[in-house]
Amino acid sequence: MSPAAPPAGPEARTPSQQARRQRILDASLTLLRERDHDRIQMKDVAEQAGVALGTVYRYFSSKEHLFAEVLVAWAATLGTNISRHPLRGTTDAERLTEVLHRSVRAFQRQPSLARLVATLETSSDPLAAEIFDRLARITDAVYVGALHDVDRDTAQRIVAVVDAVLASGLRTWVAGRVPIGRVYDDLTDAIALLLGARAQLARS
């Protein structure tokens, strides 16, 4: 049988375990500031967290799960980042563009996180699926909120498209196939296409 029931979720038993778990996540995030997750070894994480390798595995059943949880933790930051300041734009297009550019900027500051997202995106682990759901809920709410002049359903559909453009842009950027400026531009462009004709229509 298994070694014992490990503390699965964030609801660790004792405070010290809670702290230990957090220390491992923090350590991972720290290491991600200097290199990609595929250049980070589990023993590096253990060492950085001041914990034995076995302990890392007690809290996270695999490297993939560990980094998925790291992403969850970071997602909260992202949500705060893009919704902290009020949007300055006066049109839907301006506001949506602004908020998406903020997302790009957040990933631009943490390229390893962008690469992590790109990698986990192709994982079929159920935990990964749940995490993307959560990430999408956080960001989509903000994106949809930027659209004042269209009904909710249309807003959702527009956001879905724009999200795809964002994801594609980030992926080609982290793969080194396009400069980051291109990602900003493509988003601006896509939004113009999606809202431009619509605005003209409304105006007439």
Catalog residues that contact DNA under the rule CB under 7 A.
3-7, 13-14, 16-17, 20, 38-43, 50-55, 57-58, 61-64
Q: List the interface residues with a second copy, window 57-86 (CB under 8 A).
A: none
CA dist 74 and 30 (Å) reads: 12
140 counts as binding a second copy under rule CB under 8 A: no
176 counts as binding a second copy under rule CB under 8 A: yes
Q: How many residues bind a second copy (CB under 8 A)?
A: 37
HSE-up of residue 46 (Cα within 13 Å, Cβ side): 15
Per-position x/- string for 111-130, each x denoting binding to a second copy as judged by CB under 8 A, each - no binding? ----x--xx-xxxx---xx-
- Determine how many CB atoms are found less than 10 A away from the CB of residue 125: 13
* Per-residue b or e along 174-199, where b marks 16 or more CB atoms closer than 10 Å to that residue's CB: beeebebeebbebbbebbeebbeebe
**201 touches, from a second copy, DNA, none (C-beta below 5 to 8 Å by class):** a second copy
Q: Residue 30 or residue 62: which is nearer to DNA going by CB?
A: 62
- 187 and 167 in contact (C-beta within 8 Å)? no
Q: Residue 50 or residue 181: which is nearer to DNA going by CB?
A: 50
**50 touches, from a second copy, DNA, none (C-beta below 5 to 8 Å by class):** DNA
Q: What does residue 179 show for φ and ψ, rounded to 5 degrees?
A: -75, 160
Over the Cα atoms of the chain, what is R_g? 19
User: Minimum distance from CB of 154 to a second copy (Å)?
Assistant: 8
**174 touches, from DNA, a second copy, none (C-beta below 5 to 8 Å by class):** a second copy
- Of these, 137, 175, 179, 181, which contacts a second copy (CB under 8 A)? 175
**17 touches, from DNA, a second copy, none (C-beta below 5 to 8 Å by class):** DNA
Q: Residue 63 or residue 198: which is nearer to DNA going by CB?
A: 63
Give the Å distances, CA to CA, from 132 to 45, 71, 143, 174. 23, 9, 16, 18
First to last CA, the chain: 71
**43 touches, from DNA, a second copy, none (C-beta below 5 to 8 Å by class):** DNA
